[in-house]
A and B are shown apart, each in its own frame.
Chain A
């Protein structure tokens, strides 16, 4: 029994799960009639989808020891590409595919610049963040683009009664499916072990024959694909292409990964933890609205919770590390 508890505690997602439950129970206690309502739970899941899908890609990048600041711009660019595609008369699937392809090329570009120019990913993606935002604005003619959502909005809408068996919107299932795939790849594939190896010690990995450049480009491209899918979901929510959308999304995504046990120095992180981190932030946001906390307090509170969550997680892991060293 004791061994079981010890094992449970050692899981990287255990800390964020505890924090999520604590915060959830707090708000549910304060507003039992509305906050704990099933409709509210479904809505919170829906509002987490975009951050969650981006966080899956960011987790892969951060485990590899990188970072991607351009993700918000890429999401905005995707909504514009999808809207432009629909405007041009493409079918919704083709338009969505086009959006994902655009985002994937942005990701690949990030990867090529990081691997090829040997510039730190922070600088590269700081640059591409601005470049992609500019491209999005140019493509949109500096305004929001109206397009017939043609069913793409259904991915993020409240389920119509006849689809009640799905329980949550298709977008939520998409996020969960992509997470499961990524988590599986991380543990069971050679690629997954390569990125952990690079993130833990890049030089050692290189000496062991890990194709660092190829894995790097692939990781950023993969994150690009995920950002593209998140962008399609964002378009489903907005139903317009908005080049100014998702400003600062990258920080929210990085926060989710870090709360979930990821480290800016690489080698650490878990998909499940990142999802819980993303959900935690949605719960705080929604809870503050339900309780009626003004915006400025909410912003302070979110920042405090990020720092405290990560600090506690590090503190929790300390004794384990020192005891394993014995």
Chain B
């Protein structure tokens, strides 16, 4: 009987022994050079999820920063995409581990406040990336300046229309701060161009492509289609794609000037077919890079800005094949993540 129990224990140890070999290979994103430094800073990067392209680009950017600055980066997201509880647990976990700093993309602007405060109390600074967090417990906020990005789209729209015509804005969803800022930036920029008139800006596309498609279709019909509408703007991926489908279905694609937001393969194809005139894209690679870099600067005693803009760019059919845009649309993940 006893020897069976001992056997049981041994079995567990051997099963877990396999896991102890992992970290050197896959756990530390900083490679040998980072580990060689005796007191390399350990920085945890916590995304909202791990399987989306966007977060892979963030990861790649973080790895680039870790190699340049000779720090060790541990990248770990919730096991399930977008799981708030698991993200809270992770922040607490890394706090208990006493890492040197945490770079966090909070899933909720309020729920993560407590864990971030806890980290600060334990002397671990936090840099927030991508989405805002309430409170003053984090060192810096590194994200796309959505107001600016929206204004970028607005200026381009005015140019595309030759300073005159009626446009519609299909909003994303009530209560989404980032897209509301893009919409505001766009509408403010349009306000400076007297010839351009906003026909409608109070319709919401909702969370899915499906709901956005329906909203876009009825909105286009209500506003009189391509005869009356000269341009449309959408503030995120799902509304842009829903609008693209609606334009195609009503035969208005290519006739109405269309500025959208975010890039996916389908939207890039729309750009190629000239159904979309321009897309505003964020720079997740730079977000991961600057997130880690800002943290390291703070840890090494330099002062950091409270708000850092990672920049947004306009992609259109003329520049979509340039190397700089290629890097933005499809960062070289292989080089940084070894995938």
Task: Answer whether residue B89 sits at the interface, using C-beta atoms and an 8 A cutoff.
Answer: yes
Contact string, A289-326, partner B, CB cutoff 8 A, digits 1/0?
Answer: 11111110111010011001000100110010000000
Q: Total interface residues on B, using CB and 8 Å?
A: 48
Docked pose: A34 CA to B12 CA in angstroms: 21
Residue pair B108, A144 in contact (C-beta under 8 Å): yes
Could you tell me the distance in whole angstroms from the C-beta of A23 to the nearest C-beta in chain B? 6
Q: Which of A158, A292, A308 contacts B15 (CB 8 A)?
A: A308
Task: Answer whether residue B74 sits at the interface, using C-beta atoms and an 8 A cutoff.
Answer: yes
Docked pose: A315 CA to B8 CA in angstroms: 10
Docked pose: A308 CA to B13 CA in angstroms: 12
Q: List 24 A-B contacts (CB under 8 A).
A: A22-B9, A22-B16, A23-B12, A43-B93, A142-B207, A146-B110, A158-B121, A238-B85, A240-B108, A244-B82, A286-B93, A286-B96, A289-B94, A290-B97, A291-B22, A291-B27, A292-B76, A293-B26, A294-B22, A294-B26, A294-B27, A297-B19, A297-B26, A308-B11
Could you tell me the distance in whole angstroms from the C-beta of B296 to the nearest C-beta in chain A? 19
Contact string, B2-16, partner A, CB cutoff 8 A, digits 1/0?
Answer: 101100110111011
Residue pair B9, A18 in contact (C-beta under 8 Å): yes
Task: Answer whether residue A157 sits at the interface, using C-beta atoms and an 8 A cutoff.
Answer: yes
Chain A residues near B110 (CB-CB < 8 A): 146, 239-240
Closest to B1 in A: A9
Q: Which of B2, B28, B94, B111 contacts A240 (CB 8 A)?
A: B111
| Top 4 A-B pairs, shortest CB-CB distance | A292-B27, A292-B23, A22-B12, A40-B96
With A239-B110, A308-B15 known as contacts, the answer to whether A37 contacts B96 (CB < 8 A) is: yes
Task: Answer whether residue A234 sits at the interface, using C-beta atoms and an 8 A cutoff.
Answer: yes
With A238-B84, A289-B90, A316-B4 known as contacts, the answer to whether A34 contacts B96 (CB < 8 A) is: yes
Chain B residues near A21 (CB-CB < 8 A): 9
Task: Answer whether residue B150 sits at the interface, using C-beta atoms and an 8 A cutoff.
Answer: no
Docked pose: A34 CA to B20 CA in angstroms: 15
Contact string, B102-134, partner A, CB cutoff 8 A, digits 1/0?
Answer: 000000101101100010010000000000000
Task: Answer whether residue B79 sits at the interface, using C-beta atoms and an 8 A cutoff.
Answer: yes
Task: Answer whether residue A171 sits at the interface, using C-beta atoms and an 8 A cutoff.
Answer: no
Closest to B27 in A: A292
Chain B residues near A247 (CB-CB < 8 A): 80, 83
With A9-B1, A312-B8 known as contacts, the answer to whether A238 contacts B88 (CB < 8 A) is: yes
Q: Which of A19, A158, A290, A319 contacts B12 (CB 8 A)?
A: A19
Chain A residues near B77 (CB-CB < 8 A): 295
Chain B residues near A46 (CB-CB < 8 A): 92
Residue pair A153, B89 in contact (C-beta under 8 Å): no
Could you tell me the distance in whole angstroms from the C-beta of A159 to the nearest C-beta in chain B? 12
Residue pair B85, A234 in contact (C-beta under 8 Å): yes
Residue pair B92, A43 in contact (C-beta under 8 Å): yes
Docked pose: A107 CA to B37 CA in angstroms: 56
Could you tell me the distance in whole angstroms from the C-beta of A173 to the nearest C-beta in chain B? 19
Docked pose: A60 CA to B89 CA in angstroms: 28
Q: Please classify how large the interface on chain A is, using the bins under 10, 10 to 19, 20 to 34, 35 or more.
A: 35 or more
B contacts with A: majority SS:
helix
Task: Answer whether residue A15 sits at the interface, using C-beta atoms and an 8 A cutoff.
Answer: yes
Chain B residues near A297 (CB-CB < 8 A): 19, 22, 26
Task: Answer whether residue B162 sits at the interface, using C-beta atoms and an 8 A cutoff.
Answer: no
Could you tell me the distance in whole angstroms from the C-beta of B318 to the nearest C-beta in chain A? 39
Residue pair A153, B114 in contact (C-beta under 8 Å): yes
Task: Answer whether residue B67 sits at the interface, using C-beta atoms and an 8 A cutoff.
Answer: no
Task: Answer whether residue B313 sits at the interface, using C-beta atoms and an 8 A cutoff.
Answer: no
Task: Answer whether residue A242 sits at the interface, using C-beta atoms and an 8 A cutoff.
Answer: yes
Instruction: Give chain B interface residues in 17-75, CB to chain A under 8 Å.
Output: 17-20, 22-23, 26-28, 50, 74
Task: Answer whether residue A245 sits at the interface, using C-beta atoms and an 8 A cutoff.
Answer: yes
Could you tell me the distance in whole angstroms from the C-beta of A255 to the nearest C-beta in chain B? 14
Chain B residues near A294 (CB-CB < 8 A): 22, 26-27, 76
Task: Answer whether residue A87 sits at the interface, using C-beta atoms and an 8 A cutoff.
Answer: no
Chain A residues near B50 (CB-CB < 8 A): 295
Chain A residues near B1 (CB-CB < 8 A): 5-6, 9, 319
Could you tell me the distance in whole angstroms from the C-beta of A161 to the nearest C-beta in chain B? 11
Docked pose: A222 CA to B2 CA in angstroms: 38
Docked pose: A286 CA to B28 CA in angstroms: 16
Task: Answer whether residue A213 sits at the interface, using C-beta atoms and an 8 A cutoff.
Answer: no
Docked pose: A245 CA to B87 CA in angstroms: 12
Instruction: Give chain A interface residues in 257-303, CB to chain B under 8 Å.
Output: 285-286, 288-295, 297-299, 301
Chain B residues near A26 (CB-CB < 8 A): 12-13, 16-17, 20
Docked pose: A312 CA to B4 CA in angstroms: 9
Task: Answer whether residue A237 sits at the interface, using C-beta atoms and an 8 A cutoff.
Answer: yes
Chain B residues near A9 (CB-CB < 8 A): 1, 5
* B2, B19, B110: most-surrounded residue (chain A CB, <10 A): B19
Task: Answer whether residue A246 sits at the interface, using C-beta atoms and an 8 A cutoff.
Answer: yes
Residue pair B85, A245 in contact (C-beta under 8 Å): yes
Chain B residues near A305 (CB-CB < 8 A): 12, 15
With A22-B13, A23-B12, A295-B76 known as contacts, the answer to whether A290 contacts B19 (CB < 8 A) is: no
Task: Answer whether residue B98 sits at the interface, using C-beta atoms and an 8 A cutoff.
Answer: yes
Docked pose: A308 CA to B8 CA in angstroms: 10
With A43-B96, A239-B113, A297-B22 known, 12 other A-B pairs at CB within 8 A are: A22-B13, A26-B12, A46-B92, A143-B175, A234-B85, A238-B111, A240-B108, A240-B110, A290-B97, A295-B50, A295-B79, A308-B15
With A295-B77, A297-B26 known as contacts, the answer to whether A290 contacts B111 (CB < 8 A) is: no
Closest to A239 in B: B111
Q: Which of B19, B20, B84, B113 contacts A245 (CB 8 A)?
A: B84
Docked pose: A153 CA to B114 CA in angstroms: 9
Task: Answer whether residue A127 sits at the interface, using C-beta atoms and an 8 A cutoff.
Answer: no
Instruction: Give chain A interface residues in 1-54, CB to chain B under 8 Å.
Output: 5-6, 9, 15, 18-19, 21-23, 26-27, 30-31, 34, 37, 39-40, 43, 46-47, 50
